[in-house]
Amino acid sequence: MLEKEIAKRRTFGIISHPDAGKTTLTEKLLLFGGAIQEAGAVKSNKIKKGATSDFMEIERQRGISVATSVLAFIYKDKKINILDTPGHKDFAEDTFRTLTAVDSVIVVIDVAKGVEEQTEKLVQVCRMRNIPMIVFINKLDREGKDAFDLLDEVEQKLGLTVTPLSFPIGMGFDFKGIYNIWEKNINLFSGDNKKNIEETIAFDNIEDQKLDKIIGENAARDLRENLELVYEVYPDFNQGEYLNGNLQPVFFGSALNNFGVRELLDCFIDIAPAPRPKKAEEREIKPNEKDFAGFVFKIHANMDPKHRDRLAFIKIVSGTFERNKPYLHVRHNKKLKFSSPNAFFAEKKEIVDISYAGDIVGLHDTGNFKIGDTLTEGEILNFKGIPSFSPEHFRYINNADPLKAKQLAKGIDQLMDEGVAQLFTLELNGRKVIGTVGALQYEVIQYRLEHEYGAKCTYENFPVYKACWVEASDPKNEEFAEFKRVKQKYLAKDKQGQLVFLADSSFSIEMAKQKYPSVRLHYVSEFN
Ligand code: GDP
C-alpha cells in the first residue's frame, strides 16, 4: 500500500524568468487534471507594478501565495504536486528553498526572449543538486528565435545537454504545429484552444507522403531536414541520464493556446521521478521506509496579524504523516501532535488524516518551526541542503521605540525563521545587520514588524559587498587567529551561530584568500 501510494506521486516545481508563462502553464496542467474548470482560475503570484506601492502589493499577494503554494491534482492515476515558486528576483531565496522539496522541475523559456537571467540562476541551483529537468519552450504562436539557435542557447547558457522530444513546424504567423518525437505524431495548430487537442495524427514514418498534403510540401521538407539534424546532433533520450540530471528533454508549445501541454504532461508522468531519497547528516532516507521523516522548507505567516500563527510546509521524505500522531521535533527534542494538518488539492487546502512520502503538508505553527527543521517518528535526523546564500543588500537595523525592544527582538527572530531575510550579529559590538536579496524586503520587514509585532525600526546603510561563510581548516592555528584579529570589524555570526565575513569589496575577499590560505570563504552557508 505504502509503496503503491508513493510510486504514484510526482512532486515538482516550475521555474522561469517572470513572464515566460509559468502561471499559464500551471493553469493548463490543472485543467488537464480536472482540478479547475476554467482558465483564469489560478492567480498569479507576480508582483504587479502599479498604483499601489510594491510592498503593499506583496502583502496582497501573500494571501494568494498561500493558496498557490502547492497545487495538487490527479492525472492518469498519478498524484501530481506542483510547488509554486515566486518568480520575482527579490524572492529568489524562497525559490531556492522550495527547490529542496521538489523531485524534478520543468523550466519554461520564452521563445522570443530565450534564456533569461532568473532562469540561469535557478537552473544552476538545480544542476548543483542533480534535479531532473524538462525544458518547455513557450509562446511558439509568436515570432521567436530559431529552434536550433535556442537549443544552442539552452546548452551554453544553462550548461545543459538537451534532447528535443518535440519539434516545431514553423513559428509565429507560420506556426503549423508540432512533431512529437516522443510519441511519433503530429499535432496541428488551429489557434483554437478547444479544438487543437484532438488534432493529433500519427506518423510513424516521417517520409510518408501524407505529410506533404497535410502541412504543405515546403513545411514537410523543412521538417524532415530538421528532424534529420535533430537525430544527428542530439543524443537519444535516455531515462537514466535524465534522472541523474545529465540529460534534459525539450518540448515546444504554447501554454496560452494549450498547445503542446498535453504532450509535455504525458511525457512528464512517464519519465519524471517518483519521490527520491534524501540525504540527512546521519544517513540517506528512502521514501518507502515505514517511519515518517520530513522537513520544513517554507513558512508562511498567516494573513491575520492579530494571531500571528503561521503555516509550516513540510515535505514528507519517507513513510506516512498521520493526524494526531506524536512526532519528534528534532531541534527541540520534543514530541508534537498536529490535529489539523492541511493537505493541498488544486487551490484548496483541507484537513487530512494521512499523507504519503512526496506530499506536502501544511502545519499550523505558533513559532516552533524554522526553515530546515526536521520531524521524525523518533530517530535523530537532520536533513541537509537548505543552505543560505549571500544576500545582496545589507543594513543595520535599529530600534526606533525603546519601549518595544522585546517586541522588536521577537519580530526579527520570527521573520528570520520564516526566511524573509538573514540576520547577522556583529562580533565586535553585537549590532544587528539584516541581509536581503532584494531592497523590497526592507519595506516588508518594517511594515510587518509594526503591524504584527507593534515594533518600530529604522535602517542604516552598511556597505557590504558579500557575506562569506568562514571555514577554518584548523580552527586552532595562528593564521585563523590572525584572520579573526585583523578582520574583527567585519566578522559576524549568522542565526545558526556560524562565523561570517562581511566583506566590503571583492578585492578584500581576494586579499583575504591570499593572505590566509587556510581560511576558506564560501558564498553559501553549507559547504561540506
Ligand atoms: P509567468 O510570469 O511566468 O507566470 O507568466 P504568465 O503565465 O503570467 O504569462 C506572462 C504573459 O505571457 C501573459 O500575458 C500570458 O498571457 C502570456 N503567455 C503565456 N503563454 C503564452 C503563449 O503560449 N503565447 C502567447 N502569445 N502568450 C503567452
* Ligand 1 atom having least distance to the Cα of 87: 2
Considering the domain architecture, whether residues 35 and 165 belong to the same structural domain is answered as: yes
In a domain, 284, yes or no: yes
Cβ of 65 below 6 Å from ligand 1: no
Which residues face 15 on adjacent strands? Answer: 107
163 labeled binding residue: no
| Whether residue 48 has pLDDT greater than 60 | no
How many angstroms is it from 312 CA to the middle of ligand 1? Answer: 30
Count of domains forming the chain: 3
459 in the same domain as 324: no
Separation of 13 CA from ligand 1 center, angstroms? 17
Cβ of residue 46 lying under 6 Å from some atom of ligand 1:
yes
Q: Whose CA is nearest to atom 11 of ligand 1?
A: 19
Verify whether ligand 1 is closer than 6 Å to residue 193 (CB atom): no
> Is 85 assigned to a binding site?
yes
307 within some domain: yes
What's the CATH code of the domain at 301? Answer: 2.40.30.10
Digit-coded pLDDT (tens) for 331-352: 999 999 999 888 877 666 778 8
Q: Does the beta carbon of 33 sit less than 6 angstroms from any atom of ligand 1? A: no
The answer on whether 287 is annotated among ligand-binding residues is no
Higher pLDDT, 94 or 319: 319
Q: Which three cell numbers stand for residue 73?
A: 491534482
**Which residue, by CA, sits nearest to atom 19 of ligand 1?**
21
Task: Determine how many CB atoms are found less than 10 A away from the CB of residue 304.
Answer: 9
Q: Is the confidence at residue 38, as pLDDT, over 80?
A: no
141 has binding-site annotation: yes
Domain assignment present for 225: no
If one residue of 15, 17, 19 were mutated to test the ligand 1 pocket, choosing by the most ligand atoms within 8 A of its CB, it would be 19
Q: 498: CA distance to ligand 1 center in Å? A: 42
CA distance between the termini of the chain: 37
Cα angle: 224, vertex 225, 229; to 5 degrees: 115
Does any domain span residue 211?
no
Ligand 1 atom at shortest distance from the alpha carbon of 254:
23
Positive or negative: CA dihedral 368, 372, 378, 379:
negative
Cα dist from 466 to 89, 145, 237, 412, 459, whole Å: 17, 36, 41, 21, 18
Q: Are residues 91 and 135 in the same domain?
A: yes
pLDDT per residue over 119-157, tens digit each?
998 998 899 889 999 999 999 999 999 999 999 999 999
277 Cβ inside 6 Å of ligand 1: no
Atom number, ligand 1, closest to the C-alpha of residue 27:
7
- Same domain for 70 and 45: yes
Asked if the model's pLDDT at residue 193 lies above 60, the reply is no
103 marked as part of a ligand binding site: no
Indicate whether residue 139 lines ligand 1 (CB < 6 A): yes
Is the beta carbon of 110 within 6 A of some atom in ligand 1?
Answer: no
pLDDT exceeds 80 at position 197: no
**Same domain, residue pair 353 and 466:** no
CB distance 367 to 414 below 8 Å: yes
With respect to residue 196, please indicate whether it lies within any of the assigned structural domains.
no
Q: What is the arithmetic mean of pLDDT over 107-111?
A: 97
Question: Which of the listed residues 224, 254, 271 is the one where a domain comes to its end?
Answer: 271
34 found inside a domain:
yes
Q: How far is the CA of 27 from the centre of ligand 1 (A)?
A: 11
Do 12 and 53 belong to one domain? yes
253 CB near ligand 1 (under 6 Å) = no
Residues 348, 475 share a domain: no
- pLDDT band at residue 289 using 50, 70 and 90 as cut-offs: very high
* Separation of alpha carbons 104 and 107, rounded Å: 10
- Give yes or no: residues 311 and 262 share one domain: no
In CATH, what number is assigned to the domain containing residue 435? Answer: 3.30.70.3280
Separation of CA 40 and ligand 1 centre (Å): 12
| 371, 400: one domain | no
| Residues 8 and 150 grouped into a single domain | yes
Regarding whether 337 and 470 lie in a shared domain, the answer is: no
| Final residue before a domain boundary, out of 327, 346, 376 | 376
Task: Judge whether residue 14 has pLDDT over 90.
Answer: yes
> What is the extent of the structural domain holding 255?
2-169+236-271
Judge if pTM exceeds 0.90.
no
Return d(Cα 346, Cα 41) in angstroms, integer.
10
191, part of any domain: no
Residues with Cβ within 8 Å of 213's Cβ and at least 6 positions away in sequence, in order, are none
Atom of ligand 1 nearest to the CA of 253: 23
Residue 524: CA atoms inside 13 Å, Cβ hemisphere, count? Answer: 11
Residues whose CB is less than 8 angstroms from the CB of residue 293 and which lie 6 or more positions away in sequence, other chains included? 280, 285, 316, 317, 318, 319, 374, 375, 376, 377, 379, 381, 383
Q: How far is the CA of 25 from the centre of ligand 1 (A)?
A: 8
Q: What is the CATH number of the domain that holds 111?
A: 3.40.50.300
Ligand 1 pocket member 106 (CB < 6 A): no
> Which residue shows C-alpha cell 559587498?
465
Is 362 touching ligand 1 by the criterion CB < 6 Å?
A: no
Residue 367 vs residue 431, higher pLDDT: 431
Mean pLDDT of 315-324: 96
- Angle of helix 217-233 versus helix 147-158 axis, rounded to 10: 30
Same domain for 327 and 409, yes or no, is no
Residue 88 counted as an annotated binding residue: yes
Task: Please indicate, yes or no, if residue 494 is contained in any of the structural domains.
Answer: yes
Dump pLDDT digits (tens) for 64-101.
Answer: 555 567 888 899 999 999 998 876 777 777 888 899 99
